Chain A
């Protein structure tokens, strides 16, 4: 069963703007991960946040985790055309059961 579920949204933003997307999940987790997928190809790992962390940064990415609300957000700052992709959160509840949420389509207009 899928754990992570993003708010279903398709974002269309101008290059240089920030993009924010959210994810909610239902059960306890060990960690939450965000992945990017370009044009129906393989997924690329972006960032992982552990269940005992509240915020994490990696380059232009900022992820937050609120375990009391079972939610996470991913912020991409200063977006670029190359950031156009689908973004998925994935939760790991243990035993390598990595389950993906619905995904957000982000289009960055040059």
Chain B
């Protein structure tokens, strides 16, 4: 299994809603990532988890709250988002401690904040 599975594929939420994005992989990868991508732009790194511990937080607003419950799952909890947070949210995973850390990406969740 070389897949990273993200759910849901599409999400529309209001600015007062609370929702969660989910990501799952069963490749034994111990590094997991959240990226945000706006149209015609490159993915922007948000968070990195290494061995289930948050290792990188790229100064992301607190309305985005990541969680890594175990080595296979990664969540992104959303609360009180703004319309400008509408984007494609990508999850990725990779091996750690390897000289060739190829990242595997999910298909993304397209989020629209209304």
Q: Tell me which of A43-51, A59-67, A70-78 binds B.
A: A43-51
What class of interface size applies to chain A in its complex with B? 20 to 34
With contacts A96-B101, A103-B42 taken as known, whether A40 is within 8 angstroms of B88 at the C-beta atoms is yes
Please give me the 9 A-B residue pairs with the lowest Cβ-Cβ distance, nearest first.
A100-B42, A42-B105, A42-B107, A43-B105, A45-B102, A96-B31, A100-B43, A41-B107, A96-B48
Distance in Å from the Cβ of A20 to the closest Cβ of chain B?
19
Cα(A42)–Cα(B101), bound, Å:
17
Chain A positions 70-98 with a Cβ under 8 Å from a chain B Cβ: 88, 90, 92, 95-98
Complex contact A33–B88 (CB within 8 A): no
Q: Contact residues of A with B, CB < 8 Å? A: 2, 30-31, 33, 35, 40-45, 48, 50, 88, 90, 92, 95-103
Known: A44-B105, A50-B100. 18 other contacts (CB 8 A): A2-B42, A31-B101, A40-B37, A40-B39, A40-B88, A41-B107, A43-B43, A43-B105, A45-B104, A48-B100, A48-B102, A88-B42, A88-B43, A95-B50, A96-B33, A96-B48, A96-B56, A99-B45
Contact pattern, B 32-66, Cβ under 8 Å of A = 1, otherwise 0: 01010101111111001010000110000000000
The residue from B41, B50, B55, B101 contacting A92, defined by CB atoms under 8 A apart: B101
- A95 CB, nearest partner CB in chain B, Å: 6
> Is the beta-carbon distance between A45 and B103 smaller than 8 angstroms?
yes
Q: Is B112 an interface residue (CB 8 A)?
A: no
Query: Is B42 a contact partner of A102 (Cβ separation < 8 A)?
Result: yes
User: What DSSP secondary structure best describes chain A's contact surface?
Assistant: strand
Whether B45 pairs with A42 at a CB distance below 8 angstroms is no
Instruction: Contact check, B56 vs A95: say whether CB atoms are below 8 A apart.
Output: yes
Chain A nearest CB from B87 CB (Å) reads: 10
User: A42 CA to B48 CA in the complex, in Å?
Assistant: 17
How long is the Cα–Cα vector from A83 to B96 in the complex, in angstroms? 30
Which residue on chain B has the smallest CB distance to residue A98? B103
In contact, B88 and A97 (Cβ under 8 angstroms): no
